[in-house]
């Protein structure tokens, strides 16, 4: 029996795609401008924003492909990957706030952007975990019995 993807998960993939494309393009192609807009110092040639932007574009493309699918088994591994990615993001942005927030030299704009990332990653993490649990609870049970 083929299990269909819940509409909420499809919407999560679509919204994830849109958000990650926006931030991915800004951070990958316009990283110096993006950093300047928010008064975040850009340290060339390190370009830490560009690497993050590239990762966001990669995850955006995966979300777009998953959005087009209809069967749970075809997107299950991607949902697990998204959970891990967002969990690591929440961890990183949360600890960045704990250790860097009191630092006066970190500008307010950078702190606000970090909070935006923390909120976005937390929301997507909650959504992907919720839909993963819902899909796994709906798993059809094997009713066949072994005859001895």
CA–CA separation, 139 and 26 (whole Å): 40
Residue range 28-54: mean pLDDT, rounded: 71
Distances (CA, A) of 118 to 44, 102, 122, 128: 25, 17, 6, 15
Ramachandran class of 2: left when φ > 0, alpha when ψ lies in -120 to 50, beta otherwise = beta
Percent of all residues in the chain with a pLDDT value above 70, rounded to a whole number: 78
Is residue 106 over pLDDT 80? no
Give strand pairing partners of 71: 4
Residues 107-135 pLDDT 10s: 676 777 888 889 999 999 999 999 999 99
Query: Taking 60 as the threshold, does the pLDDT of residue 28 lie above it?
Result: yes
Picking from 125, 13, 30, 14, the residue whose alpha carbon sits closest to that of residue 75 is 13
């Amino acid at each position: 029996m083929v299990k269909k993807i819940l509409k909420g998960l499809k919407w999560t993939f679509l919204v994830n795609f849109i958000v990650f494309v926006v931030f991915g393009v800004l951070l990958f192609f316009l990283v110096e401008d993006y950093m300047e807009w928010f008064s975040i110092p850009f340290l060339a040639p390190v370009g830490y924003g560009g690497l993050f932007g590239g990762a966001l574009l990669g995850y955006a493309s995966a979300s777009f492909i998953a959005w087009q699918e209809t069967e749970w088994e075809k997107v299950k591994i991607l949902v697990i990957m998204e959970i891990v990615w967002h969990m690591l993001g929440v961890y990183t942005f949360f600890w960045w706030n704990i250790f860097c927030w009191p630092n006066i030299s970190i500008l307010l704009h950078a702190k606000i952007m970090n909070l935006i990332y923390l909120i976005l990653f937390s929301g997507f993490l909650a959504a992907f975990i919720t839909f993963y649990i819902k899909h796994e609870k709906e798993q059809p049970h094997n009713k066949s019995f072994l005859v001895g």
